[in-house]
Each structure stands twice: as C-alpha cells, then as structure tokens.
Homo-oligomer: A and B are copies of this chain.
Amino acid sequence: MTDTMNKKLKRISESDRISEYDHATQKTLEEIDAIQNELDTINEKASEEILQIERKYNRIRKPHFEKRNQLINSIPNFWVTAMMNHPDLSNLFSGQEEEDCLHHLTKIEIEDFEDIMSGYYIKFYFDENPYFENAVLTKEYHLGNDPPTSKSSQIIWKEGYQLGQNTQETTNKNSRKRRVDCLKTSFFNWFNDNIDPYTDDFAEEFKDDLWLNPLQYYLVADGQEEENGIEGEEESSSDDNDDSAIPEDQSGTNSQSASSSLTGRTV
C-alpha cells in the first residue's frame, strides 16, 4: 500500500516538526495527529467497503455487458459508428484509410482488473483484414503502478500498411502539445502511445462513457447534427426541442449535448 507508506513517512516528518513547539502545544498537536491517524484508518476501511461494492456490481454487470456484446455483434459497424458519432472519440480518425480499417472492429471489451484499483484493460477485436494480423488489440492501464503505466499489444502490420505513425510527424519529439495533437488525430497513434496514462483522456472516454452506453452514440441525437450544420441521412425531426430541453446529466453517461464533429449517422 503505497498510500499508507506515504502517510507513515509523512507522519514521521510531522513528528519532527511537532517537537519544535512548547510542551503544551506539542501535546495537543500530538493528540490531533493521533486523531488524524484514526481518521486515516477509518478512511481506509471506508475505501475497502466501497471497493467491495464496486467489485460486487462489476460481477453483476458482467453478464449484461456480455449479452450486449452478442447483440451488438449482429449490427454491422456498430462500434465504428458509435466512435465516429462520439464528441471526443471522433477525433481518433486520421483519415479514410484508418476509418476503413476500423470498419473491421467487431467488438470492444473493457474490464477492471480483479483488484479494481490496479487498473483495467480495453480489448479491440478485429475480423480478418488487409491491415494487420492481430485478432485482438489490447491496451492495459496499470494504475496501481508508481507511476501508472500502460501497455499495448504490438501490432503486426501486413505488408504495405502501418497506420497512424506518419500522421503529423513531429520534428520535436519532446513537445507534449505536439504529442497530444498527434494522438488526437489517430486511433493507432493513441493505441501505441504509452508515455503517460494520466493524460490519456481517450481511454477514459472509452471506459467511462462509450462503454457505459454505446447505444446513445450509435443512435445520434438530431440536436447534435443540427448544431454542427450536418444533415446526415436523417430527416429533421420534430423532437429537437425535447432534446435541447434535457438538462446535462451529472453521471457522465449522457453527453449527447456536447459539441461534436459528426461525420454522419451511420458509416
């Protein structure tokens, strides 16, 4: 428990400092310190109970996610459509070739590791395709590591293909802004990038938004298309006002009102 060790190291350093006060104040500060220790213990117990509940509900949700994936499997291009309609994940398409490649994406699976705090994985399943050999591309986030790390399957490209790498090739590899710009425009650049999982917002969008309710992105809201002045295949419907009247959802699963760069409803 790194966290507990930090706190212990911190306590030692605080004890040093307490000894510099007059005797009565020292005694009081030590008593306050003892209470902080008790509170730490209480907080650890609370965290453990909350983790147990999260683990329990992860187990309860799992068969529902599996059944959902079976159903999604019978809808062609479900995931690529949902991703392209997603306000943030739509930035992961560098161009026509990458978009064509992602039409071979058949399934996404996202799951916490057994010890929830230690991280999670995202698995992208692909059918036979002209671009690479892998049937599954896995990106793992090890958030319990210090510092947190991520790792990606090595993609075995077929001859003539190596998507992502040449997108906005940068002359200054140390530039974080350049790196972020680069990740923004390519699924494969994002997938292969493991420099800093803490700045990996796309992973969070996959895990905490798309995965929780992909249907809402597959079924694009009319409002979004109109906001962007893109008509898509869908006729203008009369419930636009209903959509715009829905207040923003605090759970983060209802982000249809966010501005988006849509490329059409189905792809």
Which residues of A are in contact with B by a Cβ distance under 8 Å? 2-3, 6-7, 9-10, 12-14, 16-18, 20, 25, 28-29, 31-33, 35-36, 38-39, 42-43, 45-46, 49-50, 53-54, 57, 60-61, 64-65, 67-68, 71-72, 74-75, 146-147, 212-213, 215-216, 218-221, 234, 237, 239, 242-243, 245-247, 249-251, 254, 256
Contact = CB atoms under 8 A, between A and B. Distances in A.
A57 B36 contact: no
A10 B246 contact: yes
A28 B73 CA distance: 10
Nearest to A144: B250
Contact of A13 (B28, B147, B239, B250): B239
A196 to B, nearest CB: 14
Q: Return the 6 tightest CB-CB contacts between A and B, nearest first.
A: A46-B57, A17-B219, A35-B68, A49-B53, A6-B249, A32-B71
A112 B80 CA distance: 43
Contacts of A216: 10, 14
A21 to B, nearest CB: 9
Contacts of A146: 247
A219 B46 contact: no
Nearest to A237: B16
A221 B13 CA distance: 8
A147 B9 CA distance: 42
Contacts of A220: 17
Contacts of A147: 247
A251 B117 CA distance: 12
Contact of A249 (B3, B32, B221, B234): B3
Contacts of A12: 242
A241 B219 CA distance: 55
B53 A16 contact: no
A241 B212 CA distance: 44
B35 A46 contact: no
